[in-house]
Amino acid sequence: MNTEHTAELSDNEHPSIKDISQDGILHVYLNEYRKLKDEQIARIIMREHLVYVTLGVFGGVSSYALHEGQHYAFLVIPWVCLILGWMYLITDEKVSALGKYIRLELSEKLEILTGADTHSLLGWEVAHRDDKHRLIRKFSQLIMDEITFVISGVIALVAFGKMQTDFSPLHSTIWWGELVLLIGLGIWIIVTADLQKGR
């Protein structure tokens, strides 16, 4: 089989977007919506697990440091808070980005294709952002995130400073470095918080 004939078969097997029926395009969009929602749900589950893991590590390491007298263990907690907090931040940003794409871009494509109003097609994507308690919930979530990933790390640093007064210059450098990074994480949590209502 020559190259030209192969190219002709390839073109026939992959029709252009103009050759696809309206129902076919609608099927593609709806399938994309399902896949995006699956990814969004998976990321939400991962995001919640990161909170539980952070709190578990904080409790476990703190208990070990206090009962065993190993106060240097407190320096582990800020690193855990920083790593898991950053993963939480990235995951949360992706959840918001997926929702924004569905609300603004995919819903517009469906609206153009079907002629139906977006609210009747993907109503929940906008409705759950329009309730009167959204800002209170989001600010509360913001505070909880700061407590979980920033304040808990700062508490560990304060505990280490109070209980281990004779730490070396190396430990002092680590202490200040962790504090600066925790403050940076706290700022990024505020900057990336999705506090807007509606679409």
Alpha helices in 102-133 (DSSP H): 107-114, 118-121, 123-127
Is 189 within 8 Å of 142 (Cβ atoms)? yes
Percent of the chain whose predicted confidence (pLDDT) is above 90? 43
Residue 186 CB contacts under 8 Å (≥ 6 apart), including other chains: 146, 149, 150
Which CA distances in Å does 36 have to 1, 27, 62, 93, 180?
Answer: 40, 14, 39, 14, 36
What are the boundaries of each domain within the chain?
22-191
Per-residue pLDDT averaged across 55-67, rounded?
Answer: 91
pLDDT surpasses 50 at 6: no
User: Angle at Cα 92 formed by Cα 90 and Cα 93, nearest 5°?
Assistant: 65
- Measured CA to CA, the distance from residue 158 to residue 67 in angstroms comes to 17
pLDDT score for 113: 77
In this predicted model, what pLDDT tens digit does every residue of 164-173 receive, in sequence order? 777 788 888 9
Name the average pLDDT for the chain.
82
- Measured CA to CA, the distance from residue 27 to residue 113 in angstroms comes to 11
pLDDT score for 1: 47
Per-residue pLDDT averaged across 135-151, rounded?
Answer: 91
pLDDT score for 10: 45
pLDDT score for 22: 74
